């Protein structure tokens, strides 16, 4: 299995200024064969959706450390739909409290990956989602 | 629905993905359905070593040139980054320098991986450029990977070619002396805020001027910094002047031929690589000539060369 030919946007919404986690996952995805685009820090949901559309990615990974993941996922999803791109998937990574996992999945995220998860498990789940 | 609203961008994005990942056979099929665009979108190429500041420069220049292009179809940027030969993956980092222009509605940025191409461009880049032509952009800015023989390949894909150098880029100056970099129309000494810019600029100017009588366009050498407007304005003007000069002299047949030549050459090179991968037994022939002959024979009966209708008959 590999992510060869898949296009993935790693985006950092929200206000926190840490992108170590985002960079780790970006490099791991590249090493699994994906074409990875990275947005840099503090992007709005609208910005992220716009880049996802122009770059025609298969999935957007939202890397988040603090707070408002629910709103950000909902808002990104709303923008993608508005741009005729509701089929672009979203996964969420970072420090996500266990109690929020179910809600994020119900909101439509295809995966929720916390920083404790082994990287191989994250990669193989993303591969499964993109098949 | 206008040409650059989100829904059209969605459709364009998907077309580009399909074209970028097309095999040689698919690319030929596409070419048969879609004759080469006869629109005349201006193409400006930017080449130079990784880290020379190409993406930063392209971003600022796009914003500047958008003023004249806004009502003429807007600007598209293609930024190419290298594919890792080991994993086939890539980090497409050009657009991270283009943050300041993402909100311009008449601008479209697309990141590409080089895939199997090792000439500084990407597989099927000719098809991608044609698709942007057909979509009605006024200008396309193309950023190469900046390694290998990037100058040669990009030369024929674009109208104006800008070579981006850094101060104290000793290698680049050596290469220019050897005549390798004479293909560019404009030289930028970028990061002119760093020491040595003046000296590098005058060295490059010296080389360019020594070749003066052999060319009718004298390539300007322009110092640019990411915080200053003067150099950028000078570059902007130089590009417009070169395009103007070109439009009065260029033979369209010759341009079309050069582009066709690059296109067919890159497809054949890629097809040979595909073939040798698919049929490694070709490499077990007793002599090099046998391998060469067998490979050519196999190519002569190649599926990819057959048009789709005829292929269907044989199924
Ligand atoms: N000092 C200085 N650094 C610059 C300038 N322009 C770009 N850079 C830096 O050079 C690095 C590479 O820039 P980038 O545009 O990504 O180069 P590319 O690889 O050629 O596309 C970045 O860290 C930029 O901030 C400049 O005018 N002066
Ligand atoms: Mg770049």
- Assign A36 to helix, strand or coil: strand
| Residue A120 belongs to domain spanning | 7-129
Q: Which protein residues touch ligand 1 with a CB less than 6 Å away?
A: B 50-56, 94, 97, 190-191, 193-194, 225-226
Asked if pLDDT for residue B311 goes beyond 50, the answer is yes
Structural domain contains residue A94: yes
Q: Cα–Cα distance between B79 and B76 in angstroms, integer? A: 10
Asked, for residue A59, whether it belongs to a domain, the answer is: yes
Q: Could you give the CA distance from residue A81 to residue A57 in angstroms, rounded to a whole number?
A: 14
DSSP letter at B216 equals S
Q: Is there a domain that residue A63 lies in?
A: yes
Residue B188 bridge partners (DSSP): B164, B222
What is the edge-to-edge ordering of all strands in the sheet holding B221-223? B107-113, B75-81, B139-143, B42-47, B160-165, B186-189, B221-223
Number of separate helices (H) and strands (E) present in chain A: 5, 5
Q: In what order do the strands lie in the sheet with A111-114?
A: A111-114, A89-94, A59-64, A7-11, A35-38, B90-92
Nearest to B110 among A32, A39, A54 (CB): A54
CA distance A113 to A125: 9
Q: Residue B196 pLDDT more than 70?
A: yes
Is the pLDDT confidence value at B149 over 70?
A: no
Maximum separation of any 2 CA atoms in chain A, in Å: 35
Select the residue of A30, A56, A84 nearest B87 (Cβ to Cβ): A30
Chain A, nearest residue to B9 by Cα = A54
Atom 2 of ligand 1, residue of closest alpha carbon:
B191
Nearest alpha-carbon partner for A40 in B98, B60, B78: B98
Q: Which of B12-16, B17-21, B176-180, B234-238 is the least confident region?
A: B176-180
Within A61-97, where are the H helices? 69-82
Nearest Cα residue in chain B from A23: B91
Q: How many CB atoms lie within 10 A of CB A15?
A: 11
The pLDDT of B80-106, averaged and rounded, is: 89
The first and second tokens of residue B218, run together, are 């004298």
Question: Taking residues B230-252, what's their average pLDDT?
Answer: 94
- A1 confidence band (pLDDT: 50, 70, 90): low
Q: Are B63 and B104 spatial neighbours (Cβ–Cβ below 8 Å)? A: yes
Does residue A1 form part of some domain?
Answer: no
Other CB atoms within 10 A of residue B247 CB: 11
Q: pLDDT band for position B207 (50/70/90)?
A: confident
Least Cα distance to A122 among A47, A39, A31 occurs for: A31
Ligand closest to the CA atom of residue B57: 1
pLDDT value of residue B173:
67
Closest Cβ opposite residue B16 in set A27, A50, A56: A56
Using one digit for the tens of pLDDT, what is the confidence trace for A22-81?
A: 889 999 999 999 999 988 778 889 999 999 999 999 999 998 866 678 888 999 999 999
In degrees and rounded to multiples of 5, residue B221 shows phi and psi of -115, 115
**Does A54 reside within a domain?**
yes
Q: Look up the CATH number of the domain holding residue A37.
A: 3.40.50.280
DSSP letter, residue B279:
-
Q: Tell me: the pLDDT tens digits for B39-78?
A: 678 999 999 888 999 999 999 999 999 999 888 889 999 9
- Give B 81-140 residues with CB within 8 A of chain A: 84, 87-93, 95-96, 99, 102-103, 108-111, 113
For residue A28, tell me if it sits in a domain.
Answer: yes
Tell me, what's the pLDDT at B314? 43
A62 within some domain: yes
Mean pLDDT across chain B: 87
Q: What is the pLDDT confidence band of residue B22, given thresholds at 50, 70 and 90? A: very high
Name the helix (H) or strand (E) containing A50: helix A45-54
What's B12-49 look like in SS3?
HHHHHHHHHCCCHHHHHHHHHHCCCCCCCCEEEEEECC
User: Residue A2 domain-assigned?
Assistant: no
Q: Using an 8 Å Cβ cutoff, are B165 and B205 in contact?
A: no
Q: What is the pTM of this model?
A: 0.92
Name which of A9, A55, A80, A86 to mutate to probe chain B: the one with the most chain B Cβ atoms within 10 A of its Cβ.
A55
- Nearest ligand 1 atom, CA B227: 27
Predicted confidence at residue B81, as pLDDT, reads 93
Q: Is the ipTM of this complex over 0.95?
A: no
- Longest C-alpha distance within chain B, in Å? 67
- Provide the number of structural domains found in chain A: 1
Instruction: Provide mean pLDDT across the span B274-290.
Output: 93
Among the bound ligands, name the one nearest to the CA of residue B227: 1
């Amino acid at each position: 299995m590999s992510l060869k030919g898949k296009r993935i946007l790693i985006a950092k919404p929200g206000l926190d200024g840490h992108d170590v986690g985002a960079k780790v996952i970006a490099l791991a995805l590249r090493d699994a064969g994906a074409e990875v685009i990275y947005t840099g820090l503090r992007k709005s949901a609208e910005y992220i959706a716009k880049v996802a559309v122009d770059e025609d990615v298969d999935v957007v990974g939202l890397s988040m450390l603090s707070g408002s993941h629910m709103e950000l996922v909902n808002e990104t999803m709303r923008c993608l739909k508005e741009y005729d791109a509701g089929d672009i998937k979203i996964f969420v990574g970072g420090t996500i409290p266990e109690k929020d996992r179910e809600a994020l999945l119900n909101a439509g995220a295809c995966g929720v990956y916390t920083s404790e998860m082994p990287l191989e498990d994250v990669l193989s789940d993303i591969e499964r989602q993109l098949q | 629905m206008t040409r650059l609203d989100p829904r059209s961008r969605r459709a364009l994005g998907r077309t580009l993905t399909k074209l970028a990942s097309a095999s040689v056979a698919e690319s030929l099929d596409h070419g048969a359905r879609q004759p080469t665009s006869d629109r005349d979108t201006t193409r400006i190429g930017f080449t130079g070593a990784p880290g020379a500041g190409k993406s930063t420069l392209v971003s600022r220049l796009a914003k500047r040139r958008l003023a004249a292009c806004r009502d003429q179809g807007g600007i598209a940027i293609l930024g190419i980054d290298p594919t890792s030969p080991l994993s086939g993956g890539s980090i497409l980092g050009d657009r991270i320098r283009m943050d300041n222009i993402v909100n311009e509605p008449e601008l479209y940025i697309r990141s590409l991986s080089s895939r199997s191409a090792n000439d500084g461009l990407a597989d099927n880049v000719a098809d991608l450029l044609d698709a942007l032509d057909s979509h009605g952009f006024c200008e396309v800015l193309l950023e190469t990977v900046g390694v290998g023989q990037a100058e040669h390949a990009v030369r024929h894909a674009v109208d104006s070619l800008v070579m981006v150098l850094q101060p104290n880029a000793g290698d680049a100056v050596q290469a220019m002396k050897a005549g390798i970099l004479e293909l560019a129309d404009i030289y930028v000494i970028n990061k002119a805020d760093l020491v040595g810019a003046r000296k590098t600029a005058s060295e490059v100017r010296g080389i360019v001027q020594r070749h003066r009588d052999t060319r009718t366009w004298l390539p300007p050498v322009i110092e640019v910094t990411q915080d200053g407007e003067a150099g950028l304005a000078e570059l902007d003007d130089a590009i417009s002047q070169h395009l103007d000069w070109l439009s009065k002299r260029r033979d369209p047949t010759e341009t079309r031929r050069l582009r066709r030549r690059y296109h067919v050459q890159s497809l054949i090179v890629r097809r040979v690589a595909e073939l040798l991968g698919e049929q490694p037994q070709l490499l077990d022939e007793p002599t090099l000539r046998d391998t060469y002959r067998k490979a050519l024979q196999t190519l002569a009966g190649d599926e990819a060369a057959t048009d789709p209708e005829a292929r269907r008959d044989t199924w």
